[in-house]
Each structure stands twice: as C-alpha cells, then as structure tokens.
Amino acid sequence: MTTDLGGSLLKLRDIRKSFGKLEVLKGIDLDVAAGEVVSIIGASGSGKSTFLRTINAIEPADSGTMAFDDKTFDFDSTSGQHPSERDLQALRSRIGMVFQSYNLWPHKTVLENVTHAPVRILGKSRAEATEMAEGLLDRIGLYDKRHTSPQRLSGGQQQRVAIARALAMTPRLMLFDEVTSALDPELVHEVLMLMASLAADGMTMLLVTHEMSFARDVSSRVLFFEDGVIGEQGPPGKMLRDPQSPRLRQFLHSILHDDLSQAKAGGLV
C-alpha cells in the first residue's frame, strides 16, 4: 500500500510490542524526516533496543502502523492486513542495522562479509559488489584489510566493517544499537567519527547510545525512553542541559557519575 509521508521518511503510530505478559513498547508515535539523526537514550529495560528491532521488523510490532519510504505496514491484528514475510524482507533490505556485537562471519574475509548481501539479496554482480565494497572499505580506512579474517581485526575495526556491510545495501535509513558499548574506550572514537561522517553526508539515522557528547554534537533530536514510552524529546542542547522530567534528570546524573568513575579508574582525572 502506498502512502504520503508528508516529508517524513519514517512515520510510526501507536507501535506496541509485548513478550508474553511483559509489555515492552506501550504506544510509540514518531516521525523522522530524511536526513535526521535521532539519538535514543534511557535506562536498560526501557524499550530502546526493542524499538529499533520493530522498525526493521526483526521483532515485528504486535500492533500499530509504520510508514517507511513509499510503503505502509499495518500491524493491527484486527485489520487482517499483517505484512507478508516478503514485504518485511523488502523493508529490511532498505534499512541497515548495526548491533553491539559485530556479527561478522569469521569464515569469510572482510571483503566477502561486505559483498555477500548485495550479491545474494540485491542481485548485484560479483564485480559490481566488489567495487562498491572496496570503495566503502577505503572510506573507513580498512581497504588494506579487505582480504583479512575479521578475527584478526580490533573491535573498533570489526565494528567499522559491520557498518560498511550495512552501507553496502545502500539503505535509506541506518539503525545503530549501542554499537560502541562493547568496545574498549580508546576504540570508541574511531567508530563515532565514522558515524558522524555518515550524519554529515545526510544519512538518516536512529541510534541507541550512552555517548552523551555524540548525542549532543551530532543529533538533530534526542528521545528519552522510559518504561516503554517516549518520556521526553527535543533538541539535544535543550534536552541534555535542561531536562524537564525528574526521570531524565536522574538518568543524566547517573550517566555523568558513571563516566567520571570510569575516568578516575583509568587515571584520566
């Protein structure tokens, strides 16, 4: 079904998701314009990662409606219009997602990891996929590692390859789920710099992050998730400097305290 997005690349209405009796998402409404960078913050268990997974239907919503690009997906079981698996696969091919764990194939080289999906899913020739992949690997500074096993790369390098693999599908939207949380502190910067360059190029991005400085400097908007709903949202400067809700103030205080403790432990202060 086609739809008029009214200038938005992504529209979500009353998105809900439960696992058994646990309701994780309790009615999410969100519009994301093309080129926006939306950072999602909140405590563990607030629904952030599940929310990203409903967008590319790794965990399809139980109810609600999503409009993406030129399609509307109705997840309301009362309508009898659940999207088909074919439709969901087409959706996933246009939305890139990068996880905390790199999920690279250890038995394939870096180049083979990046070319696999464009050949198998998009039907690109091996030569075309290789040319694109090598261009992406050159951009992220890993061209010379293209014939290397991912297991021989650092965590930061593996995460950059995972981002390149997602970009090889030429997505309209990129989702990042705490992609730096498993990295050593000295490797975080190289991944964040790559993500910042994507934002500067106009890539539409939604990211779950605890990197408050990145959210402040790169985001168009920040969402604060609490208990399965968006508790507060707004421009990053206002959200992070002048939080309106006690829950957000408490969360930001705890993040600042954790960052200071890590810095002291590392001898940085």
Give the count of alpha carbons within 13 A of 88, CB side only.
Answer: 16
Give the start-to-end residue ranges of the domains of the chain.
Answer: 1-94+174-235, 103-171
Task: Identify the pLDDT of residue 81.
Answer: 64
- What is the distance between the alpha carbons of residues 81 and 77, in angstroms, rounded to a whole number? 7
Task: Identify the pLDDT of residue 2.
Answer: 37
Residues near 77 by beta carbon (within 8 Å), at least 6 away in sequence: 62, 63
Lookup: tokens for 178: 């705490």
Task: Identify the pLDDT of residue 255.
Answer: 82
Task: Identify the pLDDT of residue 262.
Answer: 45
**Over the range 172-205, which residues count as b (16 or more CB within 10 Å of their CB) and which as e?**
ebbbbbbbbeebeeebbebbbebbeebbeeebbb
Task: Identify the pLDDT of residue 185.
Answer: 83
Mean pLDDT in order along the chain per 10 residues (269 residues)? 60 95 96 96 95 94 92 76 83 92 94 96 95 96 96 94 96 95 87 94 96 93 96 93 91 71 39
Task: Identify the pLDDT of residue 79.
Answer: 60
**CATH pick for 1-94+174-235 out of 3.40.50.300, 2.60.40.180, 3.60.15.10, 3.30.1240.10:** 3.40.50.300
Lookup: tokens for 152: 């021989």
Q: Which helix (H) or strand (E) holds 155?
A: helix 155-167
pTM, two decimals, is 0.89
